[in-house]
C-alpha cells in the first residue's frame, strides 16, 4: 500500500432490491472514511447477474443515498475518470474476459464445461452426513469436465464447438492465505479448503469474485469495506490480486461486523415480523408487489438515521452519542469500529430520532414535516406559522407522523371534544368565567401568551376560581383533549378569532 495514493473507496451494491440498514451503514463508513481522508467515494453497480435484475432497484439506491445525505463523488449518475460504473457496461467494454484468459494462461484458472445437471450430480454423489455441501475443489476437479482433467486437444475441441464453459480459479491445495484486515487484524485461511470459485460465467459475465478484484484495481480503490459475510471468500480475492495485479496494489480490507436482527443476520423479513423498518426507504418488489417499510416513510430524519447507524458498531471513545454527519466526518476512525455483530434495537433507534427531532434545525424539520401535514389536508402555506407550531410540539414527537396528532389542532378545529374530562367538575361559576373570558379576549389588543395568561388569571380570581380549575377546560376547548403544549402558547398561535370561536363552540358541550 503506497501511502501516497489518494484514498478511494467504493460501495458496490447489486440492484436486486431494497437497501437495508447494513448496506447504508457500509455506505456511511465508506463516505466518512473518504471525507476524513480527503478521498473519493465511488458508487459502482454490481449488476453481473442478469437473472436477478430488478427494475427500479438502481434508481432506488440512488434516492436512498440522496435522502441520507451520503452522495457519492462518482457514480453511474455522476461519472468520473474511472467509468463505466455499471459492471454490465464494463463487461460490454470487454474489461473482464482478458483477465480471465490471463489467469488460464498462467495456470491459475481453468475452463470448466460441466453443466448445472452435472454439478448437481456431483454434489449428490459426494454428499454425506459429514459433508453436507460438497464443493468443486481439488478433491473432485479431476473427476469433472474441465481443462485440467481433459487433454489439451479435448479441451480445444469443446472450445471450438462452442460448448458453454465457465472459468474457475484453481485454488492451491496447500497454501495459507493471510492478510491484515483493518478491523480484525491478521486473518488466515487454508486455500485448499475453499472451492474453485467460478470467475467467469457461461454468459461471459464475471462473477463478483473476478469483478470486485478487476474493478477495484481499475478504479484504483485503496480501501475496501464490506460486510463480514464476505470474509470466507476473501482468500479468493487475495489470490486473484496476487495473480493479476500484485499484493502491493491490493486495497486494505475492512470486513464490517454484521447487523443482527432478533435472530441472526438482519433480514427484510424481520421488519414485517417485528414491526420496524429495515430498508432506508419504502421498497416495493415489482414482482411480488410486496412492500418493505423504510426508515424515511416510518418518519425518521436522515440526521437520526445516519447517527444511529454510525453508532451501531462504532463510538468515539467518549460518552457522546449524538453526532451530526459533520461531526462524524471529523471523528470517524476505522480502528474504533467494534468487531462483534450488533443487534439492531428499534427502541434505541426511536430515541435517536426523538433527539434529532428536538435538536435539528427548524428549517430542516419543516422540510420533512410540511409535506406530511399537507397530505393530511392541513394548510401549510404560512411557513412562519408552521415553524412556530413545530417548535411548540417537537418535544413530544418521536416519529415524524406524530406531528399529525400533536400539531393537527393548530390547523383544524378538533373534531371531538373530550367533554368527559371536564364535565364531572364543571360548574356554573366556570361557565360564567368562560363567558367573561370570551368578552375579555374579544376586546384584547395585544394577543400574546403572557398577556392572555394574565387576563385569564385575573378573571379567574374575580370569579373566586383558581387558575388550575379552569385551565384544563380551556385546554380541552382549544385542543379537544388532554394533551399539547402550554395552553396560552396555543391560544397565541391560534389567534384571537379562532380561540374565541373554539371557546364559544365548546362551551355548550360542558353545560
Alpha carbons 509 and 499: distance in angstroms, whole number: 16
Q: Which stretch binds RNA (CB under 7 A): 88-96, 238-246, 272-280, 463-471?
A: 463-471
Close Cβ partners of 329 (under 8 Å, ≥ 6 residues apart) = 32, 35, 36
Interface size with RNA, residues (CB under 7 A): 85
Active-site position among 6, 121, 174, 268:
268
Other CB atoms within 10 A of residue 179 CB: 18
CA nearest neighbour of 202 among 162, 170, 239, 161: 162
Pick left, alpha or beta for residue 102 (phi over 0 → left; psi -120 to 50 → alpha; otherwise beta).
alpha
> Rule CB under 7 A: which of 492-511 touch RNA?
none
Closer by beta carbon to RNA, 310 or else 368: 310
For residue 38, the minimal CB distance to RNA (Å) is 26
Closer by beta carbon to RNA, 6 or else 273: 273
Is 268 annotated as catalytic? yes
Which of 38, 94, 116, 424 is the binder for RNA (CB under 7 A)?
116
Which of 5, 201, 385, 496 is the binder for RNA (CB under 7 A)?
201
Alpha carbons 291 and 270: distance in angstroms, whole number: 13
Closer by beta carbon to RNA, 334 or else 342: 342
Q: Which stretch binds RNA (CB under 7 A): 126-134, 271-279, 283-291, 359-367?
A: 126-134
Closer by beta carbon to RNA, 294 or else 480: 480
Q: Which stretch binds RNA (CB under 7 A): 124-132, 288-296, 440-448, 492-500?
A: 124-132
Q: Which stretch binds RNA (CB under 7 A): 92-100, 238-246, 270-278, 315-323?
A: 315-323
Q: Which stretch binds RNA (CB under 7 A): 9-17, 74-82, 383-391, 503-511?
A: 9-17
Closer by beta carbon to RNA, 14 or else 366: 14
Whether the bond into 84 is cis, omega within 30 of 0: yes
> Rule CB under 7 A: which of 427-446 touch RNA?
none
Q: Is 332 in the site for RNA (CB under 7 A)?
A: no
Q: Is 312 in the site for RNA (CB under 7 A)?
A: yes
CA nearest neighbour of 306 among 69, 40, 56: 69
**Axis-axis angle for helices 208-218, 234-244 (nearest 10):** 50
Alpha carbons 280 and 22: distance in angstroms, whole number: 10
> Rule CB under 7 A: which of 209-238 touch RNA?
228-233
> Rule CB under 7 A: which of 53-112 touch RNA?
none
Beta-bridge partners for 40:
8
Alpha carbons 238 and 246: distance in angstroms, whole number: 9
Q: Which stretch binds RNA (CB under 7 A): 57-65, 258-266, 427-435, 500-508?
A: 258-266
Q: Is 317 in the site for RNA (CB under 7 A)?
A: yes
DSSP E strands: which ranges in 23-182?
Answer: 40-43, 109-112, 166-169, 176-181
Closer by beta carbon to RNA, 115 or else 505: 115
Other CB atoms within 10 A of residue 251 CB: 23
For residue 246, the minimal CB distance to RNA (Å) is 24
Report the run of H or E that residue 227 belongs to, with start and end.
strand 223-227
For residue 204, the minimal CB distance to RNA (Å) is 9
Q: Is 319 in the site for RNA (CB under 7 A)?
A: yes
Which of 14, 26, 155, 370 is the binder for RNA (CB under 7 A)?
14
For 125, 438, 453, 483, the CA distances from 486, given in Å and listed in that order, are: 76, 19, 10, 9
For residue 418, the minimal CB distance to RNA (Å) is 10
Q: Which stretch binds RNA (CB under 7 A): 2-10, 327-335, 434-442, 485-493?
A: 485-493
Which of 66, 140, 182, 342 is the binder for RNA (CB under 7 A)?
342
For residue 341, the minimal CB distance to RNA (Å) is 5
- Mask for 179-198, x = binds RNA (CB under 7 A): -----xx-xxxx--x-x--x
Q: Output the nine-digit C-alpha cell for 288.
A: 411480488
Q: Is 29 in the site for RNA (CB under 7 A)?
A: no
Task: Find the largest Cα–Cα distance for the chain.
Answer: 112
Closer by beta carbon to RNA, 117 or else 248: 117
Q: Is 143 in the site for RNA (CB under 7 A)?
A: no
Closer by beta carbon to RNA, 243 or else 456: 456
Q: Are the C-beta atoms of residues 307 and 356 closer than 8 Å to each other?
A: yes
Close Cβ partners of 34 (under 8 Å, ≥ 6 residues apart) = 7, 8, 9, 40, 41, 73
Alpha carbons 250 and 272: distance in angstroms, whole number: 40
Which of 251, 257, 277, 294 is the binder for RNA (CB under 7 A)?
257
Alpha carbons 239 and 313: distance in angstroms, whole number: 29
> Rule CB under 7 A: which of 357-386 touch RNA?
358
Instruction: Look at the block and give the residue holding cell 496476487.
Output: 242
Q: Are the C-beta atoms of residues 293 and 277 closer than 8 Å to each other?
A: yes
Closer by beta carbon to RNA, 5 or else 457: 457
For residue 269, the minimal CB distance to RNA (Å) is 12
Closer by beta carbon to RNA, 5 or else 359: 359
Phi first, then psi, for residue 325 (nearest 5°) are -60, -35
Q: How many residues does the chain have?
A: 511
CA atoms within 13 A on the CB side of 455: 20
Q: Which residues are catalytic?
A: 268
Amino acid at each position: 500500500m503506497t501511502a501516497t495514493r489518494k484514498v478511494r473507496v467504493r460501495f458496490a451494491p447489486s440492484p436486486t432490491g431494497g437497501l437495508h440498514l447494513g448496506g447504508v451503514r457500509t455506505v456511511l463508513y465508506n463516505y466518512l472514511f473518504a471525507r476524513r481522508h480527503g478521498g473519493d467515494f465511488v458508487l459502482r453497480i454490481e449488476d453481473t447477474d442478469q437473472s436477478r435484475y430488478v427494475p427500479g432497484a438502481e434508481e432506488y439506491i440512488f434516492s436512498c443515498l440522496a435522502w441520507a445525505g451520503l452522495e457519492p463523488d462518482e457514480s453511474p449518475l455522476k461519472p468520473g475518470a474511472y467509468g463505466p460504473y455499471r459492471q454490465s457496461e464494463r463487461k460490454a467494454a470487454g474489461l473482464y474476459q482478458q483477465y480471465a484468459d490471463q489467469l488460464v494462461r498462467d495456470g491459475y484458472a481453468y475452463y470448466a464445461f460441466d453443466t448445472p445437471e452435472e454439478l448437481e450430480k456431483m454434489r449428490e454423489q459426494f454428499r454425506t452426513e459429514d459433508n453436507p455441501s460438497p464443493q468443486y475443489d481439488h478433491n473432485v476437479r479431476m473427476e469433472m469436465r474441465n481443462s485440467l482433467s481433459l487433454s489439451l486437444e479435448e479441451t480445444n475441441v469443446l472450445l471450438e464447438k462452442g460448448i458453454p464453459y465457465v472459468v474457475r480459479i484453481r485454488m492451491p491445495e496447500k497454501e495459507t492465505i493471510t492478510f491484515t484486515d483493518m478491523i480484525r487484524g491478521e486473518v488466515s485461511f487454508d486455500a485448499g479448503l475453499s472451492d474453485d470459485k467460478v470467475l467467469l460465467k457461461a454468459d461471459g459475465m464475471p462473477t463478483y469474485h473476478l469483478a470486485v478484484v478487476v474493478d477495484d484495481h481499475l478504479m484504483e480503490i485503496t480501501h475496501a469495506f464490506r460486510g463480514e459475510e464476505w470474509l470466507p471468500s476473501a482468500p479468493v480475492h487475495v489470490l486473484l490480486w496476487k495473480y493479476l495485479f500484485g499484493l502491493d496494489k491490493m486495497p486494505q480490507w475492512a470486513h464490517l461486523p454484521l447487523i443482527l436482527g432478533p435472530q441472526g443476520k438482519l433480514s427484510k423479513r424481520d421488519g414485517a415480523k417485528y414491526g420496524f423498518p429495515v430498508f432506508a426507504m419504502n421498497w416495493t418488489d415489482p414482482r411480488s408487489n410486496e412492500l418493505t417499510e423504510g426508515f424515511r416513510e416510518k418518519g425518521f430524519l436522515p440526521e437520526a438515521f445516519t447517527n444511529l447507524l454510525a453508532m451501531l458498531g462504532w463510538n468515539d471513545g467518549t460518552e457522546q452519542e449524538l453526532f451530526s454527519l459533520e461531526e462524524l466526518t471529523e471523528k470517524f476512525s476505522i480502528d474504533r469500529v467494534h468487531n462483534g455483530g450488533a443487534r439492531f434495537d428499534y427502541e434505541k433507534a426511536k430515541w435517536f430520532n426523538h433527539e434529532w427531532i428536538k435538536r435539528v434545525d427548524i428549517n430542516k424539520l419543516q422540510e420533512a414535516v410540511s409535506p406530511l401535514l399537507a397530505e393530511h389536508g392541513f394548510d401549510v402555506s404560512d411557513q412562519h406559522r408552521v415553524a412556530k407550531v413545530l417548535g411548540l410540539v417537537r418535544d413530544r414527537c418521536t416519529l415524524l407522523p406524530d406531528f399529525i396528532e400533536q400539531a393537527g389542532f393548530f390547523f383544524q378545529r378538533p373534531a371531538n371534544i373530550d367533554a368527559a374530562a371536564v364535565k364531572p367538575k364543571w360548574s356554573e361559576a366556570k361557565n360564567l368565567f368562560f363567558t367573561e373570558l370570551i368578552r375579555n379576549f374579544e376586546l384584547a389588543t395585544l394577543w400574546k401568551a403572557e398577556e392572555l395568561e394574565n387576563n385569564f388569571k385575573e378573571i379567574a380570581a374575580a370569579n373566586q376560581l383558581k387558575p388550575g380549575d379552569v385551565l384544563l377546560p380551556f385546554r380541552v376547548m382549544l385542543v379537544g383533549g388532554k394533551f399539547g403544549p402550554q395552553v396560552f402558547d396555543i391560544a397565541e398561535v391560534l389567534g384571537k378569532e379562532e380561540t374565541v370561536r373554539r371557546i364559544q363552540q365548546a362551551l355548550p358541550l360542558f353545560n
